[in-house]
Amino acid sequence: MFTGIVEETGEILAREQTDDGLRYRIGAEVVAAGLEHGQSISVSGACLTVERFEARSWFEVFLASETVERTYLGDLVEGDLVNLERAMAADGRFDGHVVQGHVDAVATVESIESVGEDWYFEFALPEGYDRYVVEKGSITLDGISLTVADLTADGNVTVAIIPTTYDETALSEKSPGDPVHLEVDVLAKYVERLMESHLE
């Protein structure tokens, strides 16, 4: 489980296409300091498994075909930045919200506006996902725990990004039209499933 609090931005150092999927080497210092083989790590919101690593330098992850199909990670190239978060320790501080690292869909950056020191990002959600979103509720975009500032009638979501989040995540690299990984609040999905079971 993750909390959506990005620890570090990593850089894609190398990519290797195989018959079974795709392998990335990602440069990192903070995140790579305490890794173990088989550990889970969130790469821009997608939960992946560490295969190899060099402390305070890099780690490698493998993307199976399903992960490539459900995310935009397969489009990354050397030099691209990704948001990184290690799985939450049992005695860790819970600063964000419950994030599974299971990407529901790929959303799109609709617009970016600078307002004072903050930034307002508007995202277009895939059809049907707006039903899991409420104003002032939690949403995960590219592995970042964010609060919904506004939900438009056509299903777009606006979030306010403070300077720290803008500077310390890969959101600063995004432009309108770029993809982002969407994970809606898992509690909303559980409530929906319980309601469906009750009506059956």
- Catalytic residues, which ones? 2, 40, 47, 49, 64, 102, 147
The DSSP line for the chain is -B-S---EEEEEEEEEE-SSEEEEEEE-SSGGGG--TT-EEEETTEEEEEEEEETTTEEEEEEEHHHHHHSSGGG--TT-EEEEEEPPPTTS---S--B-----EEEEEEEEEEETTEEEEEEEPPTTGGGG--TT-EEEETTEEEEEEEE-TTSEEEEEE-HHHHHHSGGGG--TT-EEEEE--HHHHHHHHHHHHHH-
